[in-house]
Amino acid sequence: MTATTREQFLAAAEHLFAEKGFYGASIATIARELGLTKQALLHHFGNKEKLYGEVLRSLSERLAANNSEIRENSPDPAEQLEEMLLAQFRGQMAHQDSARLIMRELLDNEQRADRAGNWYLKDYLEELVSTVQSVNRKFSRAQALAVVYQLLGAAHYFAVSQPTLDNIFGKRQMADTRQCFEAQLRQLIRAALA
Amino acid sequence: MTATTREQFLAAAEHLFAEKGFYGASIATIARELGLTKQALLHHFGNKEKLYGEVLRSLSERLAANNSEIRENSPDPAEQLEEMLLAQFRGQMAHQDSARLIMRELLDNEQRADRAGNWYLKDYLEELVSTVQSVNRKFSRAQALAVVYQLLGAAHYFAVSQPTLDNIFGKRQMADTRQCFEAQLRQLIRAALA
DNA sequence: GAATGTACTTACCGTTTGGTAAGTTGTCAA
DNA sequence: TTGACAACTTACCAAACGGTAAGTACATTC
């Protein structure tokens, strides 16, 4: 169960990239987190871009694994969709680093389309879209995508904004909001599909 | 109507910060956009942080202006809220730089809480929350905030993801989705408040 | 016409950046 | 016991970073 150096590098990199973004995090800082030099990091990953790509790849693998688990556990498409969206929300609240990283990638990848893992969201989104369509046949593909993205946004945006909201509204108020957010989100999902 | 150098700097900075983030955009690059040196920029703004602060401030002023205009034009709170959210959505679709900048600030401001304009979202959010509560009295403050944030997220997330989605799904499909997004969003808003 | 201020420039500075080159050290197999 | 490989290190490097200092060019004002 002891993590390899490589895995430790990936974990540290995920954290720092999520916090400061690609440009804001330096490979030297990431390496220092493990008490190693940046050349040790370069030895394992070649260069900074490749490291970033690997972080993204490992993240997308975790995402995919989560989803296929849900798909197996519930046969009803409506229930499936609800569970997928809520599980994604819970996952992002629990692992804010990943949530922030995904958001950053959404903002940045326009510029560097050559990065590995660029389209890893595609399968994930396609899956949700077709689930929406099988729940409510009235939806066109475009409509279904719009709905999926609205629901995804409703969840992800909140997960990512947590620290900022804590500052704006205070931890007390935000604890309340966090508590009722999931129930409210569930309602929103059902309403969107009706 | 001719923009001052200072205004031109602000515009160029907004664009580049939105595209690359605070660390990714260098003051030299911003200045080069106007054919000037970075020392000209420093002459006007002192340092990079202050420039970023000014960009944020001017952005928040535009946001506030938009909202008070809407508040004046429609007396019914339900209509007001719907219009505020939709106007914000349209604004972000039209000025994607601002949308991206706000998202970036949401991600980054945790780390540098000293930045000017840090809480400029507060008034905006408070306003939406109280409007939600006056539309539907059943909502607690925490619930209202949750709803507001879900709706805001639904809109903002989509606006920001545009280039990525164009890549994933193709411009054709995305044009369709864009077209029906607003109507779908309006439905979602109404459903969330019922 | 001298002084003042604004809008810049060139010339630097120290630090940090991502990256290369060339070891060193330990392990493990033939 | 030698040879090969992996996992590092120290020593560099050129370029870019944000920022300072000192000057130039041009109005405006007294």
Span B179-184, average pLDDT: 96
DSSP tally for chain A: helices H, then strands E: 9, 0
Instruction: Give CA–CA dist B123/B144, Å, rounded.
Output: 15
pLDDT at residue B75 in the model: 86
Strand D close to A15 by CB, under 7 A: no
User: Measured in angstroms, what separates residue B46's CA from nucleotide D25's C1'?
Assistant: 22
Count CB pairs under 8 A between chains A and B: 181
Query: Please, are residues A27 and A51 in contact by the beta-carbon 8 Å criterion?
Result: yes
pLDDT digits (tens, 9 = 90+) for B58-112: 998 898 888 888 888 888 999 999 999 999 999 999 999 999 999 999 998 777 6
Q: How far apart are the first and last CA of chain B?
A: 46
Instruction: Give CA–CA dist B122/B88, Å, rounded.
Output: 15
3-state helix, strand, coil in chain A (%, to 5): 80, 0, 20
List the domain boundaries for chain A. Answer: 59-193
User: pTM of whole model > 0.85?
Assistant: yes
pLDDT at residue A116 in the model: 53
Instruction: Give CA–CA dist B161/A110, Å, rounded.
Output: 9
pLDDT at residue B164 in the model: 87
CA of A24: which chain B residue's CA is closest? B23
Tell me which amino acid residue A120 is: Y
Q: Residue A39 in 3-state DSSP? A: helix
Of A107, A156, A168, the CB nearest to B125: A168
pLDDT at residue B3 in the model: 86
Q: Is A1 on the interface with B (CB under 8 A)?
A: no
CA of A170: which chain B residue's CA is closest? B122
Rounded to the nearest 10°, the torsion over CA A153, A157, A159, A164 is -170
Q: Is the dihedral of CA B165, B168, B171, B175 positive or negative?
A: negative
Query: Please, are residues A113 and B167 in contact by the beta-carbon 8 Å criterion?
Result: yes
Specify the DSSP class assigned to residue A25.
S
Given a cut of 80, whether residue B118 has pLDDT beyond it is no
Number of C-beta neighbours around residue A73 at 10 A = 10
Query: Please, are residues A182 and A89 in contact by the beta-carbon 8 Å criterion?
Result: yes
pLDDT at residue A63 in the model: 85
Interface residues for strand C (CB within 7 Å) are A 25-29, 38-39, 42, 47-49; B 5, 31, 35-37, 39-40, 43-44
Write the DSSP string, A132-156.
HHHH-TT--HHHHHHHHHHHHHHHH
> How does B54-80 read in b/e, with b if 16+ C-beta sit within 10 Å?
bbbebbbeebeebbeebeeeeeebbeb
CATH number, domain B56-193, options 1.10.287, 2.130.10, 1.10.357, 3.30.1360: 1.10.357
Q: Which residue has the higher pLDDT, A18 or B194?
A: A18
Instruction: Give CA–CA dist B114/A95, Å, rounded.
Output: 26
Tell me which amino acid residue B163 is: P
pLDDT digits (tens, 9 = 90+) for B163-176: 889 988 999 999 99
Span B138-161, average pLDDT: 96
pLDDT at residue B68 in the model: 85
> How much is the mean pLDDT over chain B?
92
**From first to last of its 194 residues, what are the pLDDT tens digits of chain A?**
578 999 999 999 999 999 999 999 999 999 999 999 999 999 999 999 999 999 999 998 898 888 888 888 888 989 999 999 999 999 999 999 999 999 999 998 777 655 655 677 788 899 899 999 999 999 999 999 999 999 999 999 999 999 889 988 999 999 999 999 999 999 999 999 98
Could A168 and B111 be called an inter-chain contact, meaning their C-beta atoms sit closer than 8 Å?
no
Q: Is the dihedral of CA A187, A189, A192, A193 positive or negative?
A: negative
pLDDT at residue B63 in the model: 86
- Asked: is A59-193 a CATH 1.10.357 domain? The reply is yes
Instruction: Give CA–CA dist A148/B161, Å, rounded.
Output: 13
Given a cut of 60, whether residue B116 has pLDDT beyond it is no
Could B106 and A161 be called an inter-chain contact, meaning their C-beta atoms sit closer than 8 Å?
yes
